[in-house]
């Protein structure tokens, strides 16, 4: 026995049309249909991929747009006004056009300069990143903390402010480690990691203060090297030392904000949609493959070929 069934009702769009709903009523119903959360992430380069990795771990079924302004990398060499103009005037139009649910500024330097202006311009939540000095001060038992960061970050007044506000009772040893940026780039390219240079930076930390039990990774590139940094600590009998970065705290904040936006039913893989990452880069349209490889390497523990990852040039 067979039946001819009119299946037009199965399509929500056909159903909307047959009901002759007003535009306002249709929009209200669209709002009830589960939608894949969309998160925009910005960094001057590839360091923010460490933040993306933490977000992917917590948010398996989201759409991520990663904006890398590698044409002006590194931001540490730019003036504050130039950074402000670049993000608020030039890049924010692309954030708005792609209508994300929120924006993560995954750059320490930019976060200290542009957050108020971006928040006043954009109609979405904007989350910033700063070195996790507050977390280290709460965790440290010896009250001796190491800060591994780029020379530009170490010199910035906001580091003084973070220490004054959250680590007054701690000794904070600032160790410049610009080499780690290039080493992390080598890692993202699938190249051999220079363990000797990593060892040298770890040794320098303890030359400053032998009692250090927490090291703040003050550049978003550095968590990409966590495995190698931990190996170096272990080989020196210092496996008890905590490596602290902002990634997990940022991911927790993003989850909280998405929950407030009624995305809680889609945050842990309950969505039928698989995760998606779109990389936008500003330096050279020939670099699509390079950015694909970087992203796949950063997400190697989660990607496994299932994620939809693409890269495209963004001319500015």
Catalytic sites, residue numbers: 107, 219
Neighbouring C-alpha atoms within 13 Å toward the C-beta of 52: 34
Secondary element (H or E) of residue 171: strand 171-176
Tell me which DSSP letter residue 286 carries.
Answer: G
Distance in angstroms between the alpha carbons of the first and the last residue of the chain: 63
Nearest to 148 by CA among 108, 105, 196: 108
- For 229, residues 6+ apart whose C-beta sits below 8 A from its C-beta are 198, 202, 215, 217, 222, 243
What is the Cα gyration radius of the chain? 22
Instruction: Report residue 274: phi and psi, to 5°.
Output: -80, 165
C-alpha 255/C-alpha 159 separation (Å) is 27
């Amino acid at each position: 026995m067979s039946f001819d069934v009119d299946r037009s009702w199965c399509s929500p769009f056909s159903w909307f049309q047959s009901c002759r709903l007003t535009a306002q009523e249709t929009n209200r119903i669209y709002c009830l249909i589960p939608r894949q959360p969309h998160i925009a992430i910005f960094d001057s380069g590839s360091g923010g991929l460490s933040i993306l990795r933490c977000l992917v771990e917590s948010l398996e079924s989201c759409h991520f747009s990663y904006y890398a302004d590698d044409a002006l990398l590194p931001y540490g060499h730019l003036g504050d006004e130039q950074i402000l103009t670049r993000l608020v005037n030039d890049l924010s139009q692309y954030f708005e056009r792609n209508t994300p649910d929120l924006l993560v500024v995954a750059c320490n330097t930019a976060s200290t300069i542009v957050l108020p202006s971006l928040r006043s311009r954009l109609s979405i939540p904007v989350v910033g990143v700063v070195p996790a000095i507050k977390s280290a001060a709460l965790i440290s038992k010896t009250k001796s903390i190491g800060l591994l960061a780029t020379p530009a970050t170490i010199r910035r007044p906001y580091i003084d402010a973070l220490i004054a506000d959250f680590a007054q009772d701690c000794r904070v040893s600032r160790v410049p480690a610009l080499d780690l940026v290039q080493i992390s780039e080598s890692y993202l390219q699938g190249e051999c990691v220079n363990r000797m240079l990593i060892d040298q930076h770890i040794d320098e930390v303890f030359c400053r203060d032998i009692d250090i039990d927490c090291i703040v990774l003050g550049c978003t590139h550095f968590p990409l090297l966590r495995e190698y940094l931990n190996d170096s600590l272990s080989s020196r009998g210092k496996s008890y030392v905590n490596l602290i970065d902002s990634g997990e705290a940022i991911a927790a904040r993003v989850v909280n904000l998405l929950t407030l936006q009624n995305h809680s039913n889609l945050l842990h893989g309950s969505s039928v949609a698989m995760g998606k990452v779109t990389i936008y880069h500003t330096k050279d349209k020939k670099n699509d493959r390079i950015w694909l490889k970087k992203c796949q390497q950063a997400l190697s523990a989660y990607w496994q070929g299932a994620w939809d990852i693409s890269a495209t040039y963004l001319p500015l």
